[in-house]
Structure 1
Amino acid sequence: MAPSDSAPPWGVSHARRCAQALNSLHSIPYFTADLGEELAPFGVEDHSSVYLTGRASPLGAADAPLVTAVLNSFAPSLVAARVPALWQHLTPARAVEARLSAAGRCLERLLGAETIASPAMSEAAELATEAALAGTVAGRPLYAANLALERPDEPHIALWHASTLLREHRGDGHLTVLDWHEITGIHCLVLDCASGHGMPEEIVRPMRGWTEKDWAAARQDLQDRGLVDGHGRLTPRGAQLRDDIEDDTGRLDRRPYDTLGATGTEKLGRYVHGLVHRAAHAGIFPPPLAAFFAPATEKWNDL
């Protein structure tokens, strides 16, 4: 039976903001040294290799085209320079263990033992797991691969694992929407930067392995489609497309949050949002990225 296209009666904002908070929590180990320290003994040291190992390891010993496809926004040349050579250094199963260890260690350090051992952490882990298990597998390779992994026993690591599942569920659906609108990975990055709401170009372009020539060509494509202007800013048509993509992504990502309902979704989102802000106050996100990964608390108040 196909799901209803109608929005939940309590609105999209709860789910979108909860998803944003969970995505930020998932991202924390990639902004600390912990995962790199776990992988360094295996010869995996540069930031891009560490990131690709962490994100792609649930897929098994995947080759470069598969990793490029599921991560979408990375330049094929950056991925091919590292994959599948990464799997000669360590097995994907060992990489999964490394990222769980890194997540547990950095969250305990940033949040403190009292928070880690609190009933609220256990409740959040249960809520997030309930939502994560309610997702749709079809067409979602990264979500499905992570779903096959065992749930960690420790609540704070279980919360991170569930956050990762929910991040990949939303991300896989997002790629479906982008493909429908004929927006490639680099096009999506250019649009996001042009909107003023995404990460700055000077950070995201080299981080994803794209050259200035690649970026200029993608921006010209979007200008030819009337989505950005000659200064690289979104046109009204481009802004509408971006809104449509966000709305469709949220629609495809509805089931986990429908399962929790309004009260559970808002409770989980507010709690995780608070955890992310504590981590942000510790300085883990570089200043240009802090507002992206840890938006102002007041934004919860205009629901």
Structure 2
Amino acid sequence: MTSSLPERAGRRCHSLLNPFHSAHYFSPDLGRELAAVGVEDARAAYFAVRAAPMGGVGAGVVTATFFNFRYELVAKHVPAVWETASPPVVLAARARAVDATLRRLLGEELIASKEVAEAAELALRATEACARTARPLYAAHADLPVPERPHLALWHASTLLREHRGDGHLAALMDAGLDPVEALVSHTATGKGMSPKWVLGTRGWTRDDWDTASARLRKRGLLDAEGELTETGVAFRQQIEAATDRLDLAPYEHLGAAGVQRLTELMSGLVTVLLSAGAFPAGMTGKS
């Protein structure tokens, strides 16, 4: 599919929408709101808030749609978490947490600004071209109502665009023949993914899982002995991202080059404020 957009324009825009969505996962506001409805374990909270739009699903569905978590870790918390807090209760708690997080990190003046309202309008317009077919996490979120307040509408649209690209990215990973741990190892080797320490501490995999996956990637000529991507490996990861771009092209084509550029500018300013306010923990990304 050819595009009228500048090269990687959609990817650049997504790279800013994604952290705007993801900041709430690391927020104390989320922990407080989930604990208030009985969900005190941080991993259970993460699985619950992201899976809740799909309803009271089991560990198999969560593992399939989240992709890079070990099934046994998911099964410790799902579906048991729904006995503590039903999906509607979790979604209401998530909405309160997102509101509190954005107000705390961005400040009331920025929350009420015309820039946030404009970004919300542009991002929502982009979602008009998203497709539910074969995109379960996007489709589930797309069935939720759009919040009235602009900062929450922007978060909602960012979530839709994030999950739309994410569902497509999983298809690209599967087509490339990567299993969950291989995908994590090769992404970390680009320098843009989560650090091994963070992966092993949150996804349920062991160091042996990581080392074994690394060995498989070396056998394919994608990693060298030091765990760095080979020339072939660099090209391989680039091909995956290019395939993801193609699968995620529709919303950005719909928005148009000028709209994408403006949304990217607006989100860059908002994410800069989020990062400066400490929205994400130190040491989360990198190769070590």
| Structure 1 equivalent of residue 17 of structure 2 | 22
1:131 alignment partner in structure 2? 126
What pairs up with 1:38-57 in 2 under 5 angstroms?
Answer: 38-57=33-52
Does 2:153 align with 1:153?
no
Q: Which residue identity lines up with residue 230 of structure 2 in the other structure?
A: T
Q: Paired residue for 2:88, among 88, 93, 96?
A: 93
Whole-angstrom distance in 2 between the partners of 1:236 and 1:71: 29
Match of 2:109 in 1: 114
The whole-number CA distance in structure 2 between the counterparts of 1:53 and 1:134 is 27
In structure 1, distance between residues paired with 2:269 and 2:196: 28
1:230 positional shift: 1.8
Q: State the 1:9 CA deviation.
A: 3.0
Give, in angstroms, the shift of residue 160 of structure 1.
Answer: 0.3
Structure 2 equivalent of residue 180 of structure 1: 175
Residue 296 of structure 1 corresponds to none
After superposition, the C-alpha distances for 1:155-184 in whole angstroms (9 at most, x for unaligned) are 100100110000000000001111111111
Q: CA deviation at 1:12?
A: 2.7
What runs of 5+ residues in structure 1 fail to find an aligned partner? 293-303
Deviations 1:39-75 (A, max 9, x none): 1023312221111111111110010010000000111
2:252 corresponding residue in structure 1? 257
Match of 1:285, as an amino acid? F
**TM-score under structure 1 length normalisation:** 0.91
Any unmatched runs of 5+ in structure 2?
none
Q: Distance in 1 between matches of 2:269 and 2:283?
A: 20
**Aligned partner of 1:275: which letter?**
L
The separation in 1 between residues aligned to 2:203 and 2:154, in whole angstroms, is: 27
Q: Who is 1:168 aligned against?
A: 163
- Letter in structure 2 aligned against 1:130: R
Which string of whole-angstrom CA distances, capped at 9 and with x for unpartnered residues, describes residues 167-221 of structure 1?
0000000011111111111111000111222121111222111111111111111
Structure 1, 85-94 or 34-43: larger mean CA deviation: 34-43
Q: Is the 8 A contact 1:152 1:158 kept in 2?
A: yes
Who is 1:37 aligned against? 32
Secondary structure in 2 matching 1:199:
coil
Of 237, 240, 260 in structure 1, the residue corresponding to residue 235 of structure 2 is 240
Partner of 1:68: 63
Residue correspondence of structure 1 range 206-285 to structure 2 within 5 A: 206-285=201-280
After TM superposition, give the deviation of residue 291 of structure 1 in Å: 8.8
* Distance in 1, Cα, partners of 2:286 & 2:115: 25
Give TM-score scaled by structure 2 length.
0.96
Aligned 8 A contact 1:111 1:275 in 2? yes
Matched, 1:83 2:78: yes
* Count of aligned residue pairs for this structure pair: 287
- SS of 1:171's equivalent? helix
Identity of aligned residues (%): 45
> Could you tell me which amino acid in structure 2 is paired with residue 212 of structure 1?
R
Rounded to whole Å, the distance in 2 between the matches of 1:133 and 1:168 is 14
SS at match of 1:270: helix
With over 3 angstroms needed to count, the CA separation of the structure-2 counterparts of 1:291 and 1:160, relative to structure 1, is farther
Distance (Å, rounded) in 2 between the aligned partners of 1:225 and 1:19: 30
Mapped partners of 1:290, 1:234: distance in 2: 16
Quick one: which amino acid aligns to residue 67 of structure 2? N
**Partner letter of residue 220 of structure 1?**
A
Tell me the distance in 2 between the aligned counterparts of 1:59 and 1:19: 23
**Runs in 1 of length 4+ with deviation above 4 angstroms?**
none
Which AA in structure 2 matches 1:183?
Answer: L
* CA RMSD in angstroms, aligned pairs only: 1.5
- Matched letter for residue 78 of structure 1: L
**Aligned AA (1:224):** K
Displacement of 1:15 in angstroms is 1.2
